[in-house]
Structure 1
Amino acid sequence: MEKQTAPAMTVVSKEIKTTFKDLMKDIEDFPQAIVKEAVQAGLHPAGPQCWIYTWETCDMEAEFDLKICLPVATFGNSFKSDKFKLEKLEEYVHVKKTHLGAWDKLKDSYETLTEEMKTCLIEPKKSCRELYINCDFDNLANNITEIQFQAN
């Protein structure tokens, strides 16, 4: 298992506080609206949506910060929105695992990744990212999600 560094990237984003129990209710229409607003502003989507989870503890019942991001190429365009902001994410040192299939099985991939991290003596930080490489809502077995766990 090797640490990798994802480069800095410009994103349109929205940050909320939520819990896993309330996640779907709290995100409202953000995943669709973020793409629509970016395109209407003349920004070009430049990668898969990235959700960044940040927490104080790994308590699955606790509240955490979720930032929903769409990487974009701005081409010098300005961006004004009441709902979203344009920002630059810093580079991200991480280890990763690709999850193939339905999201209700993501927990299995997370467990495998964290076990590999323990074996390699890699200390996790307090955030992880999910990059939604392929989203197939008709056949969830076709989903491809890259899990990036921030590492020291």
Structure 2
Amino acid sequence: MEVKRIQPIHVLYFETHTSLREISEHVRIVARGLYQDAVKNELEVTGPVYWIYEGADGQPDTKFKLTIALPVTPDETELSGSTFQFKYLEPFECVAGQLYDSWDKLGNMYGNLILALSADSLMMSGQNREIYLNMDFQHPERNITEVQIGIRR
């Protein structure tokens, strides 16, 4: 288990309230839109897609805030024809691990990180992030995903 402090990140983002049962309606669609708007507005993409969960508890019907974000270079210009907005993600202290496999193994990754948190007497903040370093929809076992669980000291 690695403890990290993530500095603020400037992003183009989408936010909604959803549940784990409903979350699939955003898969592949929102990220594609973020990339399209970044290109259309000549923004420099500076990192992979983030999915940020606030208040998710692992239960299928619990509503939580979902932010899907694409890091971009800060730009003061207005977005042309975009439904997305800019913001900075706040500094974030977390424990992190990388999953080199299909997303159906994410539950195990979360479980292992939560056990490690408990062993070190760390408290969860209620925010988790998934950073999609490599997405391979044809060969999901080739996915690389960093899971970050927010902590409070």
Is the pair's TM-score, using the shorter chain for normalization, greater than 0.5? yes
TM-score for both structures, normalised by structure 2: 0.91
Aligned to 1:8: 8
Q: Is there any run of 5+ residues in structure 1 with no aligned partner, and where?
A: none
Cα separation, 1, equivalents of 2:30 and 2:86: 14
- Structure 1 runs of 4+ aligned residues shifted over 6 Å read none
Q: Once the two structures are superposed, what CA deviation does each residue of 1:91-144 show, in whole Å capped at 9, x if it has no partner?
A: 111110111111111001000000000001111011100000011111111100
Q: What is the 5 A alignment of 1:1-152?
A: 1-26=1-26, 29-55=29-55, 58=57, 60=59, 61-74=61-74, 77-152=77-152
Tell me the CA shift for residue 27 of structure 1: 5.6
Q: Is the 8 A contact 2:51 2:68 kept in 1?
A: yes
Q: Once the two structures are superposed, what CA deviation does each residue of 1:7-45 show, in whole Å capped at 9, x if it has no partner?
A: 101100000111111111256821100110011101011
Cα separation, 2, equivalents of 1:145 and 1:92: 17
Cα separation, 1, equivalents of 2:14 and 2:32: 12
Q: Once the two structures are superposed, what CA deviation does each residue of 1:27-83 show, in whole Å capped at 9, x if it has no partner?
A: 68211001100111010110010010001x625131111000000014554434541
Q: Which residue type is aligned with residue 121 of structure 1?
A: S
Percent of residue pairs bearing the same amino acid type: 26
Count of aligned pairs: 151
- RMSD after superposition: 1.7
Q: Is the 8 A contact 1:49 1:69 kept in 2?
A: yes
Q: Is there any run of 5+ residues in structure 2 with no aligned partner, and where?
A: none
TM-score for both structures, normalised by structure 1: 0.92
